[in-house]
Chains A and B, each alone.
Chain A
Amino acid sequence: MQKQSVFHSKFLPYLLVLPQLAVVLVFFYWPAAQAVIQSFLLQDAFGLSTTFVWFENYQDLLSDPDYFSTIVRTFLFSVAIALSSLSLALLLAVMADRPLRGSTFYRTLLIWPYAVAPPVVGVLWVFMLNPSLGVIAHGLRNLGVDWNPLLDGNQAATLIILAAAWKQISYNFLFFLAGLQAIPSSVIEAAAIDGARPMRRFWTIIFPLLSPTIFFLIVVNIVYAFFDTFGIIDTMTRGGPAKATETLVYKVYSDGLLGGNLGSSAAQSVILMGIVIALTAFQFRFVERKVNY
């Protein structure tokens, strides 16, 4: 797709793209290239000499059981966050997508957590579930649960998943609602005339027509769980206890903070890049399909 009529100028267009291009080259491509190059180098303990080691950093990384379990953990987190947040959001959206009194009111009350920053989300939840003074922790203790996420890795992971899913409800709700409202009411009316009851209508008509939105949201939620949970983890658990809540992004950060192996840190970044590229490619493939649908 191109414009038929355009302006003609030799230098102006370059001048116009210059700011963006400069930022992109200096702060995006240059560091990314650095990371790729670093990932093939090995630095000695004193940082005095570097040697080119091909894929050794990657081999070390992937054979490290620690890194492997971080990968698995990150994927489990993503699935748990996406599933819980998406299903609750879908339920709410289906309920809100009918002529109800006050449906705009509900919408307003459901979408604002989108604007809450991940570290703040972490702080809110860490406070409620703080073993000694949290409101919910109290309730759990009264129910006989031995609640101590500071020591129990699984409880810490649950805490992270809860907080992360909570924040994402509003985003998913909004897109589900938009998706539902885009389904022409005549289709649903036709199904009703064809004798489909509400539940059946949902599973045979609405859900399939909503599938592009669902696919899209799955990708977005995975990206969110990979990257945006950093602030939540950092304020709630800092990856602990005993790395039970350390995700790939958190590991890159904390390994780098310790100032350890530059090559390994770079290799981790490159692997993350690969994951983002794969997810983005997947999303775009799917966007193409959305157009056809």
Chain B
Amino acid sequence: MVEHRKFGNLLPHLILWTGVLIVAFPVYIAFVASTQDNATIANGQMSLLPGGHFLETYYKTLFVGTSGTTREPVGTMLFNSFVMAMLIAVGKIAISLISAYAIVYFRFPFRMTIFWLIFITLMLPVEVRIYPTYKIVADLNLLDSYAGLTLPLIASATATLLFRQFFMTVPDELLEASRIDGAGPFRFFWDTLLPLSRTNMAALFVILFILGWNQYLWPLLITTRDDMQTIQIGIRKMIVTSDALTEWPVVMATAVLAMLPPVAVVVLMQKLFVRGLVETEK
């Protein structure tokens, strides 16, 4: 459109840059802090430019850990977070994919009952059932285990709904052609439906990986051993109420490391991420 503006696109650029700054500032500060030494920061003398302690701090963070508060190095925590995020993402996708397949491509008694049972879990987030769930996991001897960390989070109404919706859009003729081509339920699923679901699975994976990586309340309850901590739990334990004992460069380095994988996923797989986010909220 022909539109006459006094300052052209100056204002939008200005506003967007302000937005970018607001969004980036805390992270920039964290990075800067992680490259300076503890004493400077504790004195309130922190510079707004990166310091020279980058390698030192990150080495200590990843492989040694803080001196006092957490005994495990962040490397272990990163590993635990990664395992948990992968198990949650892959697990959710796998069990949702096959249950959606059953619900869409078969007719069987209690089909809709089962569908609703899965659907209603949307309304039961972990926050509203923390202690009873904790008790069950404890009774099952799953505390401080990857199974305990992930199993109670692995059901997914959202993913099931998403796959169901996607399957409904797959033309019936593809199933019919497959049947004429001699494919049974397993073949059709493996040869046709799964390859067609690839993009959806990838988009969902991006979202679920971030979701799993960022879990906080559940791991907080379920892990007591230091070597089972995820990075989100570790970082909390590093902050000591009396400021003097907190090793801020290490804390900030941990924050940067905790952000890095999910942020990288968002930035590098932006298309899939946006698609996944929009699809899961439909």
Contacts and interface: CB of A to CB of B under 8 A. Distances in A.
Contacts of A12: 102, 106, 185
A110 B155 contact: no
Contacts of B217: 230-231, 253
B193 to A, nearest CB: 12
Given A5-B176, A21-B114, A133 B43 contact: yes
B199 interface: no
Contacts of B117: 21, 24-25, 29
Contacts, number: 288
B133 A95 contact: no
B90 interface: no
A31 interface: yes
A141 B93 CA distance: 50
Contacts of A216: 281
B105 A115 contact: no
A171 to B, nearest CB: 8
Interface residues of A, number: 99
A237 to B, nearest CB: 11
A3 B188 CA distance: 15
Interface stretch (A41-49, A57-65, A268-276): A268-276
Interface stretch (A32-40, A71-79, A151-159, A203-211): A32-40
Interface in B100-144: 101-108, 111, 114, 117-118, 121-125, 127-133, 135-137
Interface string B161-182: 0000001100010011001000
A1 B168 contact: yes
Nearest to A91: B15
A280 B216 contact: no
B52 to A, nearest CB: 19
A123 B23 contact: no
Contact of A235 (B22, B46, B154, B235): B235
Contacts of B175: 3, 5
B252 interface: yes
B252 A256 contact: no
B77 to A, nearest CB: 12
Nearest to A268: B128
B205 interface: no
A135 B216 contact: no
B132 A34 contact: yes
Interface stretch (B25-33, B54-62, B63-71): B25-33
B16 A20 contact: no
Contacts of A171: 277
A188 B243 CA distance: 55
A252 B26 CA distance: 30
Interface of A: 1, 3-10, 12-14, 16-17, 19-21, 23-32, 34-35, 38, 88, 91-92, 95-96, 98, 100-101, 106-121, 123-128, 130, 132-133, 135, 138, 166, 169-171, 173-175, 178, 188-189, 192, 198, 216, 220, 227, 230-231, 234-235, 249, 252-253, 256, 262, 265-266, 269-270, 272-273, 276-277, 280, 287
Interface of B: 1, 3, 9, 11-13, 15-16, 19-20, 22-27, 29-30, 33, 41-44, 46, 48, 94-96, 98-99, 101-108, 111, 114, 117-118, 121-125, 127-133, 135-137, 151-152, 154-156, 160, 167-168, 172, 175-176, 179, 184-185, 188, 210, 213-214, 216-217, 220, 232-233, 235-236, 239, 243, 248, 251-252, 255, 258-259, 262-263, 265-267, 270, 273-274, 277-278, 281-282
29 contacts: A3-B104, A6-B107, A9-B106, A16-B106, A20-B99, A21-B114, A27-B133, A28-B121, A31-B136, A96-B16, A98-B9, A101-B9, A108-B267, A112-B266, A112-B267, A113-B23, A115-B262, A117-B213, A117-B262, A120-B235, A123-B255, A127-B30, A130-B243, A133-B44, A169-B22, A178-B278, A188-B1, A189-B1, A272-B128
Given A92-B15, A252-B128, 10 more contacts: A12-B106, A112-B267, A116-B214, A117-B258, A119-B232, A120-B255, A124-B27, A169-B22, A253-B217, A269-B132
